[in-house]
Each structure stands twice: as C-alpha cells, then as structure tokens.
Amino acid sequence: MAILTISREAGSEGSQIAAAIAEELGYDLLDKGKIIAKLKADGVRWEEMAEDWDEHVPSFLEKHDWQYNGFVALTRSHILNCALGGKAVIMGRGGNFLLEGVPNVLRVRIMVPLEIRLECAANDQTFSVLSGLDAETGRKLLKQADAKSSNYIRSAFGKDWNDPLLYDIVFNMQYLSNAEIMDAIKLLLAQKDKTAMKDSKCKDLLARRALAAKINAAIATNPSFMIPTLEVLNVGETIVVKGVVMNEKQHVSIEEEARKVAGSEPIKFELRHRHHSH
C-alpha cells in the first residue's frame, strides 16, 4: 500500500491536509502527538525527551550523548515501522528522507508565501499562539519555526529542507485550495498503490530499512553500551552494523543484542575498538 510523507512550512495548513487525507482514506496518521505516545510506551525517559527534543538541533555535546542518540534512533524506528504497515501519512520529522528511494512512497512538500501563512496560521492549532499578535511578531515566529525545521533537517540528514528536487511534488497554496491539493495527492497515492502491487520489492526494501532502524534503536537506547559512534545500514540484503566500541566485552554484547533483534536476517559487523592493545 502507498505511504505519504508531508513536509510543510509553518502555518501552511499542511497538518490539516494530512489529517483530512488520513481520515478520508483510512490511513494511519503519524504526527507529533502519535510519536510522543509511541515514545511514552518506550519509557518515561523518552516521552520527556520528545517534548524537548522533537525536531531539535543538537549541540556538540548532545551529538555525543547516548540519550539524545537513543531518542533519535527510537523516533526513526517508529517512523519506519509505521510506514512498514502501509497506508500511512507521516508528518515532518524527515520522513521523506528516511523513505527516500522506496517506490510506493509519495513525498509531498507544501509551501505558501509568508503573508498568506500569517492568515492561515491562526487556523492551525500548532500555531494558534499567533492569534491576536501583530503582523511583525507573527512573521518573526513563523520564520523562527521554519528555521528550526530547516536546521534540524540539515543537522539530521545533511539535506536542504527547501530543495524542491528532494520531493516528488511541491504544492504552492497561493494558487491551489486545500481541496485541490487533496484531490491531486489522492490521485498520486492511487498510482503509488499500483506500483506497490506490481513491485514486490517495495515491502522487502522497507522491511530491511525498518529492521536496521530497530537494531539501531535497540543498541542506542541501551545505557550499558553508550556507544559513541554507531551506524546500522542496509547493504544489499545484508544489515551492516558499524561503530566504535570500548572493548571486546562490549563488542560481544552488541553483537548479541543485534542478532537477537535481526533474527534470521543476514547481519554483518564492522565494529572497531576505541583502544587497541600494542
């Protein structure tokens, strides 16, 4: 089944469009609220972090903090797991980058000139704080929200949030109504559904990507590891775990944890020790 990711500028009514499409088509909507609920099920620690670190640009120290890396790994795992079920609408959080190259994913970007967004923002519950503010303050807040999202994407994925070539289609709401955008998206999703039915590799590709993210999260959220450098990649049909470990004991423990999550799937390890004996 098709999967929809939506990236939108602050106050663009993209969240309303996502919710309406999910309701009409019976898709699962994964937005900030759903992410927080899933992280809550993982433990109070991660729920609290979700409030502070959602689409957060980490400091130098945070980039090397096991809790921050665990939070990021868990969030990505939940996004990919949601996509794995198909019929999903994923709001923001780099979903379009996590699902890049998956044939049955439609990656949408919604943009609107700033002045029009000022008018729309009061109707978007995410930006209802703008209601009653003067126009200049509203512009400042919208620009700050856009900058936060843009900086997060650059930090997390090394991509330019505003690059139209990173999306399948970009809608400018200055010229199109919500209904017209929804109609176009539904038509494109129907085409993606046909792609999924014809190409059996879609689900296999997504399953491997989701499994790699699950392994990454299992290692990154384990406080007994606190591994400073970790990558879990799909190389062909094999999952490759790369990283720097403290010692042989930690090396063995990480391999055991990864194999437990991977099950019968092929997995390879490229773990280096931080301190080598001479």
Per-chain mean pLDDT for the chain: 85
Helix (H, G, I), strand (E, B) or coil at 167: coil
Helix (H, G, I), strand (E, B) or coil at 215: helix
Structure confidence at residue 86 (pLDDT): 84
Q: Which residue has the higher pLDDT, 57 or 185?
A: 185
Whether 130 is covered by a domain: the verdict is yes
Q: Which residue has the higher pLDDT, 122 or 235?
A: 235
Task: Note the pLDDT tens digit of each residue in 118-170.
Answer: 776 655 555 555 556 677 887 888 888 888 888 888 888 889 988 999 999 99
Number of folded domains in the chain? 2
Burial 218-257 (b: 16+ CB within 10 A, else e): bbbbeeebebeebebeeeeeebbbebebeeeebbebbeeb
In a shared domain, residues 186 and 138: yes
Whether 207 is covered by a domain: the verdict is no
pLDDT at 14 over 60: yes
Structure confidence at residue 278 (pLDDT): 42
Of 169, 202, 235, which closes a domain? 202
Task: Note the pLDDT tens digit of each residue in 106-117.
Answer: 999 998 888 787
pLDDT at 221 over 80: yes
Whether 214 is covered by a domain: the verdict is no
Beta-strand ranges (E) seen in the chain are: 3-8, 28-30, 88-91, 105-111, 169-172, 229-235, 238-245, 267-273
In a shared domain, residues 106 and 227: no
In a shared domain, residues 239 and 191: no
**Using an 8 Å Cβ cutoff, are 74 and 39 in contact?**
yes
In a shared domain, residues 161 and 253: no
Structure confidence at residue 171 (pLDDT): 94
Residue 125: what residue type? Q
Whether 211 is covered by a domain: the verdict is no
Segment holding 198, helix H or strand E:
helix 178-198
Neighbours of 165 (CB within 10 A): 6
Place of tokens 């499994």: 211
- Angle, in degrees to the nearest 10, between helices 178-198 and 14-25: 50
Structure confidence at residue 51 (pLDDT): 72
In a shared domain, residues 155 and 238: no
Structure confidence at residue 139 (pLDDT): 82
In a shared domain, residues 100 and 198: yes
In a shared domain, residues 76 and 130: yes
User: Residue 264 belongs to what domain range?
Assistant: 222-273
Of 170, 202, 234, which closes a domain? 202
In a shared domain, residues 49 and 155: yes
Structure confidence at residue 36 (pLDDT): 85
pLDDT at 277 over 50: no
Whichever domain contains 8, its CATH number is 3.40.50.300
Adjacent-strand bridge partners of 96: none
**Using an 8 Å Cβ cutoff, are 214 and 73 in contact?**
no
Average pLDDT on 200-225 reads 89
Neighbours of 202 (CB within 10 A): 21
How many residues comprise the chain? 278
In a shared domain, residues 131 and 226: no
Neighbours of 277 (CB within 10 A): 4
- CA distances 214 to 161, 258, 259, 261, Å, are 25, 9, 12, 7
In a shared domain, residues 239 and 111: no
State in Å, rounded, how far the first CA of the chain is from the last one: 54
Whichever domain contains 252, its CATH number is 3.30.1340.30
pLDDT category at 213 given cuts 50, 70, 90 is very high
**Using an 8 Å Cβ cutoff, are 262 and 211 in contact?**
yes
In a shared domain, residues 61 and 27: yes
Q: What is the pTM of this model?
A: 0.84
